[in-house]
Structure formats: structure tokens, C-alpha cells
Chain A
Amino acid sequence: GQQVMQIPQYQHVQEGEDFTTYCNSSTTLSNIQWYKQRPGGHPVFLIQLVKSGEVKKQKRLTFQFGEAKKNSSLHITATQTTDVGTYFCAGRGTSGSARQLTFGSGTQLTVLP
């Protein structure tokens, strides 16, 4: 079945440093979503990317969707302590049961003050 791999699993950064997490799918995706989950909380939708090569920005967050629609990345510029949490990508396949969202295992971000 469809698999979505996410790396790294953990990332510790000093406040002010940049952070990137990467997602790779075993199959071509129709779209990919990104979520943030604070410690002890629930996932919160951040964004959806649909088009090949798409780049979207939300303040210090930059999201990219690969040209082949099989990979994606989230980059945070100048991290802040409020960025702490786990970031998940979730890919939606193109046909049949693969149309359901498949989540990556997440990247847990720790920001050291």
C-alpha cells in the first residue's frame, strides 16, 4: 500500500536556527497536507499543496511540493519556542483506497531557548 516516509524523526535546534522536515511518498500523490501537533494536543491543519512544484508560505513557514508530486518539505525560518511540536505530512493518493490520507510518522521539533 501507499507509504509516506518522513525525516528526521527528531530535531533539536537553538532558537533562531532554521528547521526543515521532509516527506517522501512511495506513490504519486494528488495532494499533500501538513499538520502541527503541540505536546499533549491534537493535530491542527496547516496547509494543503496540490500542484506540481507548488510553494506556499505562511509567515516563517515555507511548504514545497515536488515536481513529481512524490515529495514535500516544510521549512521554518528562525525558529521560535512557539514552534515546538510534532509536524506531520499526510499524502492523498490518486486512486481507490489510496485516496485516503496516509500520514507520515512525524518530526518532533524541540526549540532550545
Chain B
Amino acid sequence: NAGVTQTPKFQVLKTGQSMTLQCAQDMNHEYMSWYRQDPGMGLRLIHYSVGAGITDQGEVPNGYNVSRSTTEDFPLRLLSAAPSQTSVYFCASSYRRGGAYEQYFGPGTRLTVT
């Protein structure tokens, strides 16, 4: 199993550009999430999905869209990039094992918006 994969690894955007960060998992996990990580602030939840066709907002959803058409894929779209969206983005998938929702994180995408 490849686990959780994310592309691209690095990306530089100009203010106002749009792009999609890709996330895929091959573990048949129902639950997927997107986080952003900024220095000194831990990970903040952007959007999450509890299954194909179902998505919901997290703590910091503004400026981002998601969709979940399949169990495997959960892309994150930046509608109009802003410098405040410079961050490291992590996708995660999880399932319930022994009562714990163990999250598996992808390697991350480092995004810079100039």
C-alpha cells in the first residue's frame, strides 16, 4: 500500500491564482481531512469528509473548496490564492481500529504564495 499520497510536494503561486492540491489514499478509509500547518500553531482543520459525497467545514475553511467523489480521492482547491495561505498542507485519512480513529498523514505540500 502507498498509504496517503499528496501532489505536488512544493508549489509557488502568485496572488490570485487558483490550484488544486491532490490527495489520494489506497487504504479504503472512509474519513479524510485537510490540515494546514503554520509555525507555532499546530495543525488546523480546513475541511473533512466522512465518506464519498459528504464534506464539511473545519476550523479554517475560507478560501478553500473540497469535493469527495470517490473514497480514494479528496482534492483541495484554492480559489484565489493569498499570501496568508502560504503554509504546509497535510491530507490525512483515518479509520476506527480498536476504538481509536488512527489518522494517517500524507507527506505534505509546501505552498508559497507571493
A100 and B42 form a contact (CB under 8 A): no
**Which bucket holds chain A's interface residue count?**
20 to 34
A48 and B43 form a contact (CB under 8 A): no
B43 and A100 form a contact (CB under 8 A): no
Question: Which listed residue, A1, A33, A43, touches B100 by the CB 8 Å rule?
Answer: A33
Closest to A48 in B: B100
> Number of B interface residues, CB 8 Å?
22
Residues from chain A with a CB closer than 8 A to the CB of B59 are 1, 100, 102
B42 and A105 form a contact (CB under 8 A): yes
Closest to A92 in B: B101
Closest to B88 in A: A42
A50 and B102 form a contact (CB under 8 A): no
B43 and A88 form a contact (CB under 8 A): yes
Judge whether A61 is part of the interface by a CB distance below 8 angstroms.
Answer: no
Given the known inter-chain contacts A1-B59, A100-B48, A102-B59, please indicate yes or no for A45 contacting B43, CB distance below 8 A: no
Name the interface residues of A14-62: CB closer than 8 Å to any CB of B.
31, 33, 35, 41-45, 47-48, 50
B40 and A42 form a contact (CB under 8 A): no
**Total inter-chain residue pairs, C-beta < 8 Å:** 51
B106 and A48 form a contact (CB under 8 A): no
Judge whether A63 is part of the interface by a CB distance below 8 angstroms.
Answer: no
Closest to B106 in A: A42
Judge whether A7 is part of the interface by a CB distance below 8 angstroms.
Answer: no
Given the known inter-chain contacts A48-B100, A105-B42, please indicate yes or no for A100 contacting B58, CB distance below 8 A: yes
Residues from chain A with a CB closer than 8 A to the CB of B108 are 42
A104 and B102 form a contact (CB under 8 A): no
Judge whether A65 is part of the interface by a CB distance below 8 angstroms.
Answer: no
Closest to A49 in B: B100
Which residue numbers of B lie inside 8 Å of A, CB to CB? 35, 40-45, 48, 58-59, 90, 92, 99-108
List 7 additional A-B contacts (Cβ < 8 Å) besides A41-B107, A101-B45, A103-B44: A42-B106, A43-B90, A100-B58, A101-B103, A103-B43, A105-B40, A105-B41
Which residue numbers of A lie inside 8 Å of B, CB to CB? 1, 6, 9, 31, 33, 35, 41-45, 47-48, 50, 88, 90, 92, 100-106
